[in-house]
Chains A and B, each alone.
Chain A
Amino acid sequence: MKILFFVAQVLALVALAPLVSGIIRKIKNNLRMRQGPGILQPYYNLIKLFGKDEVISVNTSWIFTVTPYVVLVSSVLALMLVPVFVSDVSLNYMGDFLLIIFILALGRFFLALAGLDAGSSFGGMGSSREMFISSFVEPVVVMVIFVVALNAHSTGLQVISAVPVLSLPLIIAATAMMFVIIAETSRIPVDNQETHLELTMVHEAMVLEYSGRSLALIELAAHVKQIVFFSLIASVILPFGIARDIAPMPLLASFIYYGLKIMALTVIISVIEISMAKMRLFRVIDFLNIAFVLSVLGIVILAMGK
């Protein structure tokens, strides 16, 4: 029963991941008084890309071919580790919160290598920028982990998500995590998903050489990574409403809470994206510095407040 539910949960979330991106894009367009594409557009893009032929440069090595699969697998594996609807339904015997970060770092590492592999100047630039940003993001994530781990006295995700409190340090940790989401899903103050303008690209520059099926896999991986981070906020950092075991009523409540929390996150992300301007690359340090200070603030309040 548990295994069946687990498989269904992972498949459903992977299938719904592009929808979240589509909803964010739709909200952004509506807030800007534009029509915009429908919320199913990411699916159409993926279907189109899967049907296209692939062009692979003769100068690339096996890393370039293997990267899309590594990136997608790392994102899906990270998703498997997160308890989303029920606090002990995940691969939590495999590893804890820190493992998710390392698995996602593996995907990013391969993506950066693939950016360098084709030897184009854009790819190298994108990889270098991505690594630059991630070196500021990862300390924040680790600090956020410390906050939730201190609160639950464990780094195990099933223990953390079974502590359903909404306290000041946890809300601060969730806010720091929002900064991380913005940086990791290449959203506006840090990066811009919608443009291929050469000067501002970070993520897009890395995957510039990809086409066809490989590009579709990388895009799907980006959608899944986004839902991983959303679920970390919704079900691990602020886990109120999550079900303890598989029973109809708590499960229904858990679905509703999760849906509401994801909707709230999409709205917040959209509002941030339309109300801010893209930052200069070196201003991103200031932006992530605030996130770091917030995560340390969470630890200070948690440690001193008792």
Chain B
Amino acid sequence: MWLDVLLFGLLITSFMLVVAKRISALINYFTLQSLALFLLMLILAYGHTGVKLYLVAGLIFLLKVVLIPFFLKRIMRKIKVEENVGFFVNPVISVLIALVLVYLSYAFTTKLLHITETLAQGAFSVAISIIFIGMFLMISRIKALVQIVGLLVMENGLFLAAISVSGGMPFLVEVVIFFDILVSVVILELFVYKINNAFEHIDSNKLKGLQG
């Protein structure tokens, strides 16, 4: 029952990310989604013996709820970016496309793959939906910061996919992935900063032309 509520939280925050018009709102919704993932992991850890899952949950909280949003907010402040996310596809059409993506991922996971889920009914389909929505976010928004958020959302989906079919990856792999994400966010943050310094904007649409 609580798993259903948390899956709902993960899915609804993905839709909120799709309709968000401001970058700070986008970062807040990502934080909310990570919080839902953390709570889900906590429930999972409660059902298992051993402290490993608690550690993983703690890492999620530390990285995705505290550190990464903090980094993203900091880079926002530092480069004084405009709040507008920049839509290639307007929010109304975006949310319809997100609906189609959820339909496709459900069709894909239930009709093509016959996966026995260990977590809850439909958790794997929700995970694939979140990955699709994260990818859609990356390709349909102009600002570079949004693309970082899209990548992180995809990663949330991947994590959920892993725990929904196999009860989580080995602990060491988990830790390495978290470290990877943290480093990639720091590097991407640096990239955004440099892009902003060189071009005075973070509009990925205008990065096509060469500059000597």
Contacts and interface: CB of A to CB of B under 8 A. Distances in A.
Interface string B39-71: 000000000000000000000000000000000
A243 interface: no
A294 B98 CA distance: 10
B110 A171 contact: no
Nearest to B2: A166
Interface in A253-295: 285-286, 289-290, 293-294
Contacts of B92: 285-286, 289
Interface stretch (A27-35, A43-51, A55-63, A296-304): A296-304
A294 B106 contact: no
Nearest to A287: B19
A88 B17 CA distance: 41
Nearest to B8: A171
Given A293-B95, A301-B102, A168 B4 contact: yes
A294 B121 CA distance: 19
Contacts of A306: 110
A290 B92 CA distance: 8
A300 B109 CA distance: 13
A167 B102 CA distance: 17
Interface string A155-180: 00000000000111001100100000
A279 to B, nearest CB: 12
Interface string B116-150: 00000110011000000000000000000000000
Contact of A297 (B91, B99, B111, B122): B99
A229 B12 CA distance: 22
Contacts of B106: 300-301, 304-305
B99 A293 contact: yes
Contacts of B126: 168
Contacts of A171: 4-5, 8
Contacts of A304: 103, 106-107, 110-111, 125
Contact of B99 (A167, A300, A305): A300
B122 A300 contact: no
Contact of A168 (B19, B96, B103, B122): B122
Given A286-B91, A289-B95, A166 B110 contact: no
B99 A301 contact: no
Given A290-B19, A301-B122, A172 B11 contact: yes
A185 B5 CA distance: 26
A159 to B, nearest CB: 21
Nearest to A167: B4
Contacts of B7: 168
Contact of B122 (A289, A294, A305): A305
B125 A305 contact: yes
A297 B96 CA distance: 10
A28 B154 CA distance: 37
Given A300-B103, A301-B106, A175 B12 contact: yes
Interface of A: 166-168, 171-172, 175, 285-286, 289-290, 293-294, 296-297, 300-301, 304-306
21 contacts: A166-B1, A166-B5, A167-B4, A168-B4, A171-B4, A171-B5, A171-B8, A175-B12, A285-B92, A286-B92, A289-B92, A289-B95, A290-B95, A294-B12, A294-B15, A297-B11, A300-B99, A304-B106, A304-B110, A305-B106, A305-B122
